[in-house]
Amino acid sequence: MMLQPQILLLREGTDTSQGRGQILSNIGACTAIVECVKSTLGPRGMDKLIHVGDKATITNDGATIINLLDIVHPAAKSLADIATAQDNEIGDGTTSVVVLAGEFLKEARELLEDGMHPRVVIRGFREACQKAVGKIRDIEHKVNAADTKEFRELLINCAKTALNSKLVSSYKEFFAEMVVDAILKLDADLDKSMIGIKHVKGGSVTNSFLVDGVAFKKTFSYAGFEQQPKKFENPKIIMLNLELELKSEKENAEIRIENPEQYQSIVDAEWEIIYQKLDKIVQSGAQVVLSKLPIGDLATQYFADRQLFCAGRVPIEDLQRIAKASGGQILTTVSNVPAEALGSCAIFEEVQLGGERYNIFRGCPSSHSATIVLRGGSEQYIEEAERSLNDSIMIVKRALKNSNVVAGGGAIEMELSRFLRDYSRSISGKQQLVINLFAKALEVIPRTLAENAGFDAIEILNKLRQKHSVGGVEGRWFGVDIKNGGICNTFDNFIWEPSLVKINAISAATEAACLVLSVDETVKAPKNEQEVTAAEKALAARGRGRGRRF
């Protein structure tokens, strides 16, 4: 009997696994990630404490949790990708998209274990997703943007809904107004970077406030700073990307001299250069001098003697916001400074906030910037409050661009589930079963909301199914009533979400599930010779031959 030759196709130590078992293994890894974040969903969701190095983070934001988890499984990383994409594109719904993707995979597992081909499941999921998105667009509520009062109410309700599940939910009315006011100050581009969020430890969270302009923490200062005035009305502001220190000239040039007596003339020339720069700044008419680079002790005292305010090492993002808000430009030279390059504001002042001092620019002419100053008892609380406000800001931003909304609290998912169940009965073949399971998976959102609130999820789901089976406007907006432990018309209770959030969440979750289902083999190659040697020893220890037989 002849032995089959051994053919080595892959590098020694390469680990491969394939087939239906590999797909099920990938689904299991994704399910483990989902179970980690599932309990954070909803207004009564729990928080997670993640300890990385010396830093501990307390949060219930899905994207933050998944990014802080050091996920090594290649298939499970796809869930981290969709959470990050949802966070970047929409800003909210990161937990929902992960939970939905996990539930789609969980339902697909049953079909695969029964022998259905993954491509059949993928085709059915994509068809169901397309039908669900079409249904959302059919039933979404369109708000008249021309009605200023109604439109502002829409934005505030969307902001409060986004804050419902956050750490600052007890202050959602307070922060919702703040978020809407900040967004409405932006220009048509709605550039989120023009909204600054600053942390000030100490005081109550209700001491937080919105600055109509720009605020940043006092930068490092030299002697003479305290002699400068700390408040101006209608000042001219010059913004520089220029170092105003004596050392800059002598370090940026190489000079060779033959006579040591010439050294004094070089030193005098350096002083002359820096004084010329400072004199040109004063002649420009500016009263507030800001620079991305350091402003040294000589310049600080020079400005103080002439009743000017200066701040060096200003963070570039703050400097850019000041430039855009004040109507000025960031300059790299002080020669021939044009008047239009100077910015202005109604009031500039330096104020004490907690243990820090802040420079605040109010009443800027363009009014396309705002700063939210967050107060709180601990840095962890403030950081989580910032993540909460970030979600709310992104939701309001999307609602401002797309004024169509749907009801939250699991109402839209239950309506889509009912619609897809009815649609599945109108078709035949395996797709009927796949679409029906897709509809069942959508119920995970209201079920999880109820479970996280400590309610009887089965009873609530049965009531919701009965209400939505009626059809029409009367039943389509019923969702989970978190306050009273039953069901309610969440639309009438102003629990609104932009329809774009749900469309993006369902589409992204479906694509992630289809991606995992389409992978039937994983190949892991060793990175270096040490790993190859270790793999050879492991194979030898198990008594296996070298190479792979095909």
To the nearest 5 percent, what fractions of the chain are helix, strand and coil?
Answer: 50, 15, 30
8 Å CB contact between 78 and 34: no
Let me know if 138 is a catalytic residue: no
> 7-45 burial, b if ≥16 CB within 10 A, otherwise e?
eeeeebbeeeeeeeebbeebbebbbebbebbbbbbbbbb
The one catalytic residue in 31, 59, 64, 94 is 94
8 Å CB contact between 420 and 442: yes
Report the chain's C-alpha Rg in angstroms: 30
User: What is the Cα–Cα distance from 374 to 382, expressed in whole angstroms?
Assistant: 7
> In this structure, what token pair is assigned to residue 366?
């363009």
User: What is the Cα–Cα distance from 526 to 377, expressed in whole angstroms?
Assistant: 48
Let me know if 391 is a catalytic residue: yes
> Please, which residues have CB within 8 angstroms of residue 444's CB and are 6 or more apart in sequence?
99, 100, 103, 413
Q: β-pairing, 404-407 with 309-311? A: unpaired
SS3 5: coil
Q: How many CB atoms are closer than 10 A to CB 76?
A: 21
User: What is the Cα–Cα distance from 277 to 273, expressed in whole angstroms?
Assistant: 6
User: What is the Cα–Cα distance from 186 to 369, expressed in whole angstroms?
Assistant: 6
- Identify residue 10 by its one-letter amino acid code: L
Let me know if 31 is a catalytic residue: no
User: What is the Cα–Cα distance from 387 to 306, expressed in whole angstroms?
Assistant: 43
The one catalytic residue in 59, 61, 87, 448 is 61
User: What is the Cα–Cα distance from 398 to 90, expressed in whole angstroms?
Assistant: 7
Crossing angle of helices 430-442 and 411-424, rounded to 10°: 170
Q: How many CB atoms are closer than 10 A to CB 379?
A: 10
Maximum C-alpha span of the chain: 102
User: What is the Cα–Cα distance from 376 to 345, expressed in whole angstroms?
Assistant: 29
Backbone torsions φ then ψ of 7, nearest 5 degrees: -110, 120
Quick one: 336 exposed, middle or buried, by C-beta within 10 A (0-12, 13-18, 19+)? exposed
The one catalytic residue in 31, 57, 95, 448 is 95
The one catalytic residue in 212, 318, 391, 481 is 391
User: What is the Cα–Cα distance from 491 to 260, expressed in whole angstroms?
Assistant: 84
Mind telling me the catalytic residues?
61, 94-95, 391
